[in-house]
Amino acid sequence: MSHGKLIPLSGYKELSNEEMKSRSDDFYQLMRRRRTVRDFANRPVPREIIERCLLTAGTAPSGANMQPWQFVVVSSPEIKAKIRQAAEEVEREFYENKAPDYWLDALGPLGTDESKPHLEEAPYLIVIFSKQHTVTEDGKRLHNYYISESVGIALGFLITAIHNAGLASLTHTPKPMSFLREVLGRPKHETPVLILAVGYPAKDAQVPEISKKQLDEIATFLD
């Protein structure tokens, strides 16, 4: 077994307790304002902001650092229309026939249905694919590890970066999603995971009246 070269940790600076407290609280205050938005303004967003957010997503840790993700950024109105049409088709089948009552009941507070205008209104759709293996430049296949965990973490970074940049996003998971591979011309070893619609919220955007759990409901401390 060969070991890679190890280098000193650079870029880490220890902070005082005070500073850690205020930074962790500032960040919480920023993040608790994030809402999933379904009504987007049809205004363009500078591409370099999306690029920065994707670079941030790319800093995520991943199994054996294989970075098993591919982000397809769609701003073309024609491709967005194709995605909307195909997504609404599978969603109609989901809402009308496939979804069990308990699932529809759980979605009640969110007010979602098969109509997906945001897929055309949002200036960007970022489609996240996971890679079942990595193909090297010389055509070799490398195994990827902890693919769904790695892609989930990168997605979390992406949603956070987009919110931090002052934009809104919507995680959208049409079921089944395999049409995305064809519409976007991706290879068979890439699996679509999620569509993230990104843009400014519409002026009259509405969101469901829901809340997040308290700390003692989501965390257990064993001292």
Question: Which residues of this chain interact with ligand IYR, rule CB under 6 A?
Answer: 91, 107, 110, 112, 172-175
CB of 221 to ligand IYR, least distance (A): 29
Residue whose CB is nearest to ligand IYR in the complex, by number: 112
Q: Residue 20 or 107: which CB sits closer to ligand IYR?
A: 107
Asked if 170 and 118 count as a contact pair (C-beta separation under 8 A), the reply is: yes
Minimum distance from residue 195 beta carbon to ligand IYR (Å):
9
Pairing verdict, β 190-199 and 124-131: antiparallel
CB of 208 to ligand IYR, least distance (A): 10
Query: In whole angstroms, what is the distance from residue 78 CA to residue 26 CA?
Result: 40
Q: Which of 107, 121, 222, 223 lies closest to 175 in space, CA to CA?
A: 107
Residue placing its CB nearer to ligand IYR in the complex, 22 or 115: 115
Complete edge-to-edge strand list for the sheet that includes strand 190-199: 69-74, 124-131, 190-199, 168-172
Q: Tell the smallest beta-carbon distance from residue 56 to ligand IYR (Å).
A: 24
Residue (91 or 190) nearer to ligand IYR, CB: 91
In this structure, what DSSP letter does residue 110 have? G
Query: Closer to ligand IYR at the Cβ: 30 or 110?
Result: 110
